[in-house]
Amino acid sequence: MLMAHPAVLKNLIEQYETLSVPQVAHAGTPEVQRRLDDLAYTLCVSTGTRDIGAALAVARHQLTDTAAHHSHEGALQAA
């Protein structure tokens, strides 16, 4: 499976969480709701999932794995 670049996933998560804040979501315009829908769709496609809860979980897991991998590489290079 193709994996989205970590920076892309991080950005998508941040945008989704910002627009999902109850104050924003409830006071949001149709454009805000459309953007939320677009972000949810993109996160689902990027993570190979079908619902936003699973997409966020998978995206966060991928970011954690990527960070751990880079940390491990850095430790190996320092040795």
- Give Cα separations from 79 to 65, 69, 73, 75 (angstroms): 21, 16, 10, 6
pLDDT of residue 67: 74
Residue linked to tokens 């966020």 = 56
Which of the 8 DSSP states describes residue 48? T
The distance of Cα 68 from the centroid of its chain, to the nearest Å, equals 17
Q: What is the band of 79 on the pLDDT scale with cuts at 50, 70, 90?
A: low
pLDDT in tens, 37-77: 999 999 999 999 999 999 999 999 999 988 776 664 555 56
pLDDT in tens, 2-30: 788 999 999 999 999 999 988 777 777 88
pTM for the full predicted model: 0.79
* Helix residue ranges, H only, the chain: 6-20, 22-27, 30-47, 52-78
